[in-house]
Amino acid sequence: MFKPMPTLLLTLGSLSFSTHAEFENNSYSYLGLGTETLTYSETTDDFGGQTFESKFRGSNLVQKSGGYTGVGDRYGFFISTSSTLLANENKEEWEFEGVGVVQEDNMTLKRTAIDLLGVFHFQNGHFLTAGTHYNSVSFSRFDFDGTDLTEDLNDALIANPDVQAQVQAELDLRLNAVNAARASGGSDCIRGTLDDSSCLGSFDGSNNQVVTLDEFWDIKKLKPEDTQGVVFEDMTSWSLIAGWGYDSFFVDQSLGMRYSMAARVGTAMYESILNTNNDRSLTRSFGGDWDVHLLAGVGYQFRKEIGVIATLELNGVFRQEIRETENGQQVILPENTLWALSPQISAHWAF
């Protein structure tokens, strides 16, 4: 999928090092339009002791804009923004290790990114960058449905002694809370699913609710079409990034070809995630996650002030699992990875 990138980078690299024109620290702005192919996955190995992985692949219409401002002879800064203009809906699959695809849904995913980078020019057209990267990913999941293998998964899970013990412990905890409330005059109970929200099980002579493990498992097991509504999630992060770039515009603004390249890596300083399945947000600082950015471009300079350039850009984000426990309830954000491959065409101007 990403094989053309290294070849293009090497080609442009050989062209860039052959340039020996006089360096000029000129400022410019740009506005671009393109598409992006997104590959997103979530993975957890804490689902009945097995691996559960979601896979999504979609395409969006995106814009990118920004500019470079030169400061003195060798310094400057980039400010750039990119965002989704139109997000297309596509299928997401959830695969359980040893069983297969057990759940499906439709999904849309949007991205927004802002880069603020300081620049040091060290050779004709070549420069170092360092700064901050803001990344925001929002998605919605809807139209959940099971597959022919969903019940196979449920049977495999409840047959696992560890899962049985975990479900029984949760049932005991909830029954103790419910029956304590009923003893004080309350009428609360453990209820069924959205389709049947009546009280589960039965009530004994002391008005205590009695629920068997099988009855409780029936509302706990995976039934996507009955238990899942629309799920929204917002993931926001600030990262420190550094890298290298090349742009022939800094050494030759005359009519003719223009070449650019960039490579940056970074690590997240701060992350915040809010999912509608949880009743609070999750945050983390310096969790060891990473960001990566690669870009290669070829364009044409019509005159010193105006040009166009076609680019191929690859952005990657990896976030490790976040796990927190509060009031006996465990909240988990699975490990997730997002790749975005984006061909774009941009207009550049320097007035």
Q: What contacts 319, CB < 8 A, 6 or more positions away?
A: 235, 237, 268, 271, 287, 289, 333, 335, 336, 337
Predicted pLDDT at 2: 42
Q: Are residues 244 and 120 in the same domain?
A: yes
Is the pLDDT reported for residue 294 higher than 60?
yes
Q: What local confidence, expressed as pLDDT, does residue 9 receive?
A: 44
Q: Tell me the per-residue pLDDT of 47-57, one tens digit each, with 9 for 90 and over.
A: 766 788 999 99
304 Cβ neighbours under 8 A, 6+ residues apart: 253, 254, 350
> For residue 150, what pLDDT is reported?
93
pLDDT classification of 275: cutoffs 50, 70, 90: confident
Question: Which residues lie closer than 8 Å to 125 by C-beta, 6 or more apart?
Answer: 16, 19, 23, 246, 247, 248, 249, 250, 251
Q: What CATH code is carried by the domain that includes residue 70?
A: 2.40.128.90
How far apart, in whole angstroms, are the C-alpha atoms of residue 13 and residue 125?
11
> Domain boundary at 201, 220, 239, which?
220
Q: Please check whether residues 145 and 280 belong to one and the same domain.
A: yes
* Mean pLDDT value across residues 117-144: 96
pLDDT at site 330: 72
308 and 245 inside one domain: yes
Long-range contacts for 214-218 (Cβ within 8 Å, ≥24 apart)?
A: 216/167, 216/170, 216/171, 216/190, 217/158, 217/167
183 and 237 in a single domain? The answer is no
* DSSP line for 177-223: HHHHHHHTT-----B--SS--SBPSEE-TTS-EE--HHHHHHHHS--
Same domain, 158 and 125: no
Under the banding of pLDDT at 50, 70 and 90, the label for residue 3 is very low
Query: How far, in Å, CA of 108 to CA of 92, rounded?
Result: 9
The structural domain count of the chain equals 2
pLDDT of residue 223: 87
Asked if residue 133 and residue 15 are part of one domain, the reply reads yes
Q: For residues 305 and 284, state if they share a domain.
A: yes
Q: Are residues 188 and 249 in the same domain?
A: no
Whether residues 171 and 98 fall in one domain? no
161-220 tens-digit pLDDT: 988 998 999 999 999 999 999 988 888 899 887 666 789 999 998 899 999 999 999 888
Place of tokens 């995630």: 273
Question: How far apart (Å, rounded) are the C-alpha atoms in residues 153 and 51?
Answer: 12
> Are residues 270 and 194 part of one domain?
no
Mean pLDDT, residues 76-85 taken together: 97
Average confidence (pLDDT) over 14-21: 46
Picking from 171, 186, 220, the residue at the C-terminal end of a domain is 220
Quote the pLDDT of residue 140: 96
Pair (242, 123) in one structural domain? yes
More confident of the two residues 140 and 224: 140
pLDDT of 13: 45
User: Which range scores top for mean pLDDT: 226-235, 276-285, 323-332, 338-347?
Assistant: 338-347
CA 170 to chain centre: 31
pTM of the model: 0.82
Once rounded to an integer, what is the mean pLDDT over residues 40-45?
A: 92
- H/E run at residue 226: helix 224-227
For residues 24-44, give the mean pLDDT. Answer: 96
Please give the pLDDT value at position 36: 97
Q: In the listed set 172, 197, 220, which residue is the last one of a domain according to the structure?
A: 220
pLDDT band for position 304 (cuts 50, 70, 90): confident
Are 193 and 289 found together in one domain?
no
**What is the residue range of 42's domain?**
4-150+227-349
The answer to whether 260 touches 309, Cβ cutoff 8 Å, is yes
Mean pLDDT of the chain: 89
Sequential DSSP letters for 27-62: -EEEEEEEEEEEEEEEEEEEETTEEEEEEEEEEEEE
